[in-house]
Structures are given as C-alpha cells and as structure tokens.
Structure 1
Amino acid sequence: MERLGELERNFMEEDSIVGLNLEDIKMKLEKEITFSTEFIIKFIDNNMGGVYVLKSEKAWSTQNVIRKWVDLMLPLVLRGSQRGLLIWDSASTHRAKDMKNFLAKRRVDQVMIPAGMTAYLQTLDIAINKPFKDYLRLEINDYIENRMSRNKNNNFVKPNLQEVVSWVRNAWGKVIDSCVAKALKAGYLDKTSPFEASYIAKHDRFGPMIQKELESNEILAGIQGLDLEENDDIPEDDDLIVFE
C-alpha cells in the first residue's frame, strides 16, 4: 500500500537551545514537529531521502499548507473524471469557506468528523499515529543522548533539517502495512470488513444506533431488489376455482 505524506517543520529562531535540560529539549523537539490527519509521512522520489517537506510560518496546518498538499496528493490531471474525498476533523481551517471553494474547484468532497468522535472515526489516530509517534520519540531520544552537539558557549545546537527528516523516515519505515490495513478496518473504510470490526461499533450509544440503521437499510435494499410484479405466479390461461 502506497503511503504518502509530508512533514511540516517549524525551526526555532535561534541556532542553539539555551537553558533547557534534556527532558525539556525532548519535549520541545517533539512539539516542533507537528502532525495532522492529512499529513502522514512518506512521499516517493523526493530529494529529502523519501520524505516530502513543507515549511510553514506557523507550527500547524495552515490553509496554504493544506492547499499545497491537496494539489500534490489529489492532482486533477491524474484523477480525470473521478472525484476525490477527504475524511478529516472539523477544524476551522477545514470548515473555512475559502477551503470549501478551493476543494470544490478541484472536485474534492469532504466528510467532516464531528467533534469528540475522532477517537472512533479518524483512521490515523486509531491505529497509525500512536505507533508512529512512539517510534519518532525513540529517534529523538537517541539523537539527544548520542549525537546532539554543543556550540562554543556549550549550548545544545538544534538539529538540521536532514537529521529531522531521518527521524521521520526511520520511524515511518517501522509502521508496517498490516498496521495501515488495521486502521482502515477500524475506521470503517475497508468495505470488505464488517461494521462490527470498526471502532465506532464499540461506542456505547452510537454503535447500536448505526448497527440498527445498517440492518434496516439492508432489509430495505433486499425488498427493493425483489422482482415482485402483480400476478407474476399465475399463468394467464389458468382457470381459477373458487371454494366457498
């Protein structure tokens, strides 16, 4: 399964990290690398060692970043007449009128995950982001403990971009395909898997409600699919005998 993505990096203004202990540095480095639903971490044939990098003025997914990502991941020239689909949370950036117009022009539809439901419906959060971030944390810890350098003032020097990219590449390389497949099932995006295999099915309130709705739709579809024409089982030439 092709796994596409991007790292959004917001470097610190100073060349060194002053007045922080190792634990503070670890936390700061983790916060400096930001991730979002639409930004998983791998892109093919890129000059940063297999990781596509976008820099942003802010440490979150701005509209400008998302637009670049959409044009990269869902290009019209490759989709032809097919429409694209984004399933993401209801962040203000996603709900903005400008973003809706931008996606509409590119024939990309949106499915907004309601607030409070990302833990059940946001596929990345369910089964991919957790192991990825755990692996990334190991990369950061290894760098700080074994390779982080100091400047002439004995302050820690921030890692260069290539170093950060190597963390992402190594961490993402440990996320196996079966983990991605599990995420699709858990997010109810794998049409070969039953609803019962999804996380939302385990929700105390919505699980039974959705299950009931699905069963009702299946029954209705079955009825509509029957070929029931009047007198279909009565030959035209038969004589009817009525018993009173």
Structure 2
Amino acid sequence: KPGGRISRSFSSFPSGAIYACQDRAWMDESVMKRWIQDILVPYVQTSLPGIHPVLMLDSYRCHMMASVVNTIADVGIEVIHIPGGCTGTCQPVDVGIEKPLKDRVRHRWEEWMLQQDGNTAIFQPPSRELLASWIIDSLNSLESEIIQSHLNTKSA
C-alpha cells in the first residue's frame, strides 16, 4: 500500500531504481503519473532539439485514461495507442528488452533456488531487496549495443 510498510522500506533497497507501491501490485493512474514525472519527463528533456517524442502504449486501462494521456501531452509527447494483439510488433521494448531482462532475472532466481537447503516446508521467498538487486543487475547486464540495435531494427 502506498505509504505503508513496503514503501517505508524503500530506503533499504538498492540504488539505481525508482520504487513505487500500489495496493494490488498493478500499474494504475497514480503510479503511471509518477513514472511520467520521474522517468519519462527527464528522459525527454535530454533529447535533441527538433525531436518530436512519441510514446507508444498498449491499451491497458491506465494507459487509456484521459488524465494520463493529457499529462503526457502536456509535456509535449504524442501518445499513440497500440491495438490489442499488436504489442509484439509495435513495442520493441516488450520484445527485445523485456524478454532478455526477464530471462536474466529468472536465471538469478533459479541460481538462488539451487542454493536453498531444499526443505520446501519452511521455504522463505527472497526478500524484496534481493529481488530488486536481481532486476537492477539484470538490467545493467543488457548491453547497450544490443538494446540500440533492437530499437533501430524495430523502428525502421
């Protein structure tokens, strides 16, 4: 819950990421607006002059909200909504970055599982801090050339 026990523990999480909470662990309007402010706006501010930024979003409910679309448009970014079933074709990040990222995180989890004592009756899941470190390390292990190459081939 925002402001609850988990979000109060963010100070102990690894640096290199921005953390947020939502009651049901879903992206919602407030988390989306935070992403816009903390991630999207600073990124767009570094773009070259004359660049017209476009953000392609799937048809997830919070991506379609007028308040979210207007917040994005207010900072000069055009929003294009991708029809259902077209994410793999139109969103290169989902295909070329999220898949290898998830594979790397899964590999870290599998390694961690193999190191456990095998007694599933008293199994303790990895801490949120450890999960966050797996994600950050996995993201950092993606080579920028691979990411750039994939984005260039999908946008051509």
Change beyond 3 A, Cα 1:126–1:182 = farther
Change beyond 3 A, Cα 1:111–1:186 = same
Structure holding more helix per residue: 2
Aligned to 1:101: 70
Query: Whose radius of gyration is greater, 1 or 2?
Result: 1
Instruction: Return the offset for 1:53.
Output: 1.7
Structure holding more strand per residue: 1
Change beyond 3 A, Cα 1:147–1:55 = farther
Aligned to 2:81: 112
Q: Give runs of aligned pairs for residues 181-196 of structure 1, distance below 5 A.
A: 181-188=148-155, 195=156
Percent identity between the two aligned chains:
21
Which of 33, 37, 52 in structure 1 is aligned with 2:18? 52
After superposition, the CA RMSD in angstroms is 3.0
After superposition, give the CA deviation of every residue in 1:157-182 in whole Å (9 maximum; x if it has no partner).
Answer: 23222211111122112211122112
Structure 1 alignment gaps of length 5 or more: 1-10, 12-46, 189-194, 196-244
The answer (yes or no) to whether the contact 2:73–2:79 under 8 Å persists in 1 is: no
Aligned to 1:168: 135
Change beyond 3 A, Cα 1:182–1:79 = closer
Q: Taking structure 1 as the reference length, what is the TM-score of the superposition?
A: 0.50
Q: Tell me the amino acid that sits aligned with residue 158 of structure 1.
A: P
Aligned to 1:53, the other structure's residue is in SS state: coil
- CA–CA separation in structure 1 for the residues paired with 2:141 and 2:70: 37
Q: Tell me the amino acid that sits aligned with residue 60 of structure 1.
A: W
Instruction: Return the offset for 1:149.
Output: 9.6
Change beyond 3 A, Cα 1:58–1:155 = same
Which of 141, 156, 163 in structure 1 is aligned with 2:123? 156
Instruction: Return the offset for 1:103.
Output: 2.2
The answer (yes or no) to whether the contact 1:89–1:114 under 8 Å persists in 2 is: yes
Change beyond 3 A, Cα 1:134–1:182 = same
Instruction: Return the offset for 1:54.
Output: 1.5
After superposition, give the CA deviation of every residue in 1:47-76 in whole Å (9 maximum; x if it has no partner).
Answer: 623222222212221111110010012337
Structure 2 alignment gaps of length 5 or more: 6-12
The answer (yes or no) to whether the contact 1:132–1:171 under 8 Å persists in 2 is: yes
The answer (yes or no) to whether the contact 1:103–1:109 under 8 Å persists in 2 is: yes
Q: Which has the bigger relative contact order, CA under 8 A and spacing at least 6?
A: 2
- CA–CA separation in structure 1 for the residues paired with 2:40 and 2:140: 23
